[in-house]
Amino acid sequence: MLASVCLCKVFCSLTRKTAKIKMPSYKNKMKSSYLYPQSYRDNSLSVLNTALQDLAAYRTWRVFDPGPSFPVEARYAALPALTKKDIRAHFPEGFVPPDKNIQQGLANSEIEFVKTSGSIDIAVTNIWYQPWWDASEKSSWQLNFHSARIASGSHREAILVNPMNVGIISDTKPLTMSERTLGRFLYLNERTSPELWDATYMDRMVAELNLYQPAILEANPSLLAKLCRYLAVKSNPVYQPGLIIFTYEYPAAFHLRQIKQVFQSPLASSYGSTETGYVFMQCEAGKFHHNYESCRVDFQPLKKEHGGPAVGRILVTPFHNPWYYLLRFYVGDLVRIDKTNLCACGRDHGMILDAIEGRTFSATLTTRGKLVTLREADNVVSQFPEIDEYKIEQTDLKHYDVNLVSPLKDKNRLSNQVTAALRELYGSDAFIAISYREIILPESSGKYCLAKTTFPLDIEGYLETTF
């Protein structure tokens, strides 16, 4: 099946006058302030006022707003979170200001409707405005030394992702390199499942990388890791781009280990979404910096017994999108705040994260009911270099089905080691059922899921409610 190309892909000037903006002070005494330019407060206030005053989607939110006499931080903190369910209920008119005409914008191609792949909840349609996206991406480049140096907006970029997320789908016939090139972008993969990759197909990817010589390689970490496992055995030379940026998926520790066997390029993870643009960028020192020129971030900590106050979820409010006003959008991820809010790279403005902890969709529970983030589970499983791929599915409070892909012949030893390690994480009374697969397939969204519960897990019940 052949599909049209969609350019939506996810993946600071500090010389301006800055102001210290007071953030909500939590009972747990987390760091309560971050340095932001005055424009951050102005942008936050502009989006807030427009949304509450003019947009139908937020009509029922007005009762929560304490009013313009209160600080902007207090006004945001009083509001609920916007979910995909809310977007579906009010799309599109509820999010478009009265001075914009949706039909006219679609007719003159100023905007378009795009559907996300639905990694949390279910897929949702959004309004796509390309200039907003480009500006968000450009500002994020300044948060990493390598991207700031080599990303010009006209640089060559190769993209290795599932075409269900971005690119051209063709599972039945191979596409030529020219058919997969759009402007400065070369899409290396047109097949929706890696089980369709064979040696010839992966050799083609390498040949095209060597020929195209991109400044940046943007990749799903799972797919690049698969290619690197193949290349590590063949020992074929491959072009080393100036930077490899991970998007769409959580870059697990075992992904990074496999990729580093082949690539010596700097690695960075770009965090964002179709709805919110580029939200955080990993710097050369490894921490994640808020792209505050492009969006607002509100942090809601988990309860102490579940990893708070350092770990919590984030709600994102995009700036500068005249067509689509999203207020406190729940992107579906957990993050770990850096308590010092300092980084060796020297960027000390805005919120700094130690880590992205993974999707709330990928959180699991111990046998005592404590929340386990994907990063915590991955730190346990990824310590075994004999594992090529894995997936954990928790079926109830004490049962965990673990699928592994491993080239080891003696799998009993590995099974025993993994079982012991997971019981240390989940509880000594955990039932760990290990199975081996030839390959683990992505979800229907085209993205890989490394862990999840097969029963509902509502993150709202794990959030701190006392401020």
* CA separation, residue 411 to residues 140, 353, 382, 404, 416 (Å): 44, 37, 16, 10, 9
* 92 and 215 both lie in a single domain: yes
Model pLDDT, residue 4? 33
* 347 and 394 both lie in a single domain: no
Closest of 188, 255, 253, 196 to residue 225, by C-alpha: 255
Model pLDDT, residue 84? 95
The answer to whether position 253 is within a domain reads yes
Model pLDDT, residue 121? 53
**What is the rounded CA–CA span in Å between residue 412 and residue 399?**
20
Task: Point out the domain boundary residue: 344, 361, 378.
Answer: 361
Q: Which amino acid is at 67?
A: G
* 153 and 288 both lie in a single domain: yes
Model pLDDT, residue 116? 81
* 164 and 288 both lie in a single domain: yes
Would residue 399 be called left, alpha or beta, if left means φ above 0 and alpha means ψ between -120 and 50 degrees? Answer: beta
* 65 and 127 both lie in a single domain: yes
> Is 463:405 a contact under the CB 8 Å cutoff?
no
> Is 243:147 a contact under the CB 8 Å cutoff?
yes
The answer to whether position 121 is within a domain reads yes
* 357 and 369 both lie in a single domain: no
> Is 287:343 a contact under the CB 8 Å cutoff?
yes
* CA separation, residue 425 to residues 93, 345, 369 (Å): 47, 33, 12
| pLDDT mean for each 10 residues of the chain (467 residues) | 36 33 38 82 98 98 97 96 96 97 97 78 88 97 98 96 93 96 97 96 98 98 97 92 96 97 97 96 98 98 97 98 98 96 94 97 97 98 97 98 95 97 98 97 91 95 85
Q: What does the block give as tokens for 252?
A: 């697990």
* 231 and 299 both lie in a single domain: yes
CATH number at residue 389: 3.30.300.30
Closest of 441, 376, 371 to residue 403, by C-alpha: 441
Task: Point out the domain boundary residue: 361, 381, 398.
Answer: 361
Q: What is the pTM of this model?
A: 0.91
The answer to whether position 102 is within a domain reads yes
Model pLDDT, residue 160? 98
The answer to whether position 13 is within a domain reads no
* 326 and 396 both lie in a single domain: no
Task: Point out the domain boundary residue: 340, 361, 382.
Answer: 361
* 322 and 416 both lie in a single domain: no
Owning domain of residue 201: 18-361
The answer to whether position 461 is within a domain reads no
Domain count within the chain: 2
* 410 and 304 both lie in a single domain: no
* 248 and 156 both lie in a single domain: yes
Q: Which residues pair with 35 in a beta bridge?
A: 20
* 396 and 430 both lie in a single domain: yes
CATH number at residue 226: 3.40.50.12780
Q: What does the block give as tokens for 333?
A: 């991820």
**What is the rounded CA–CA span in Å between residue 216 and residue 242?**
6
The answer to whether position 418 is within a domain reads yes
Closest of 187, 188, 194 to residue 229, by C-alpha: 194
The answer to whether position 8 is within a domain reads no
The answer to whether position 460 is within a domain reads no
**What is the rounded CA–CA span in Å between residue 22 and residue 106?**
40
Model pLDDT, residue 236? 84
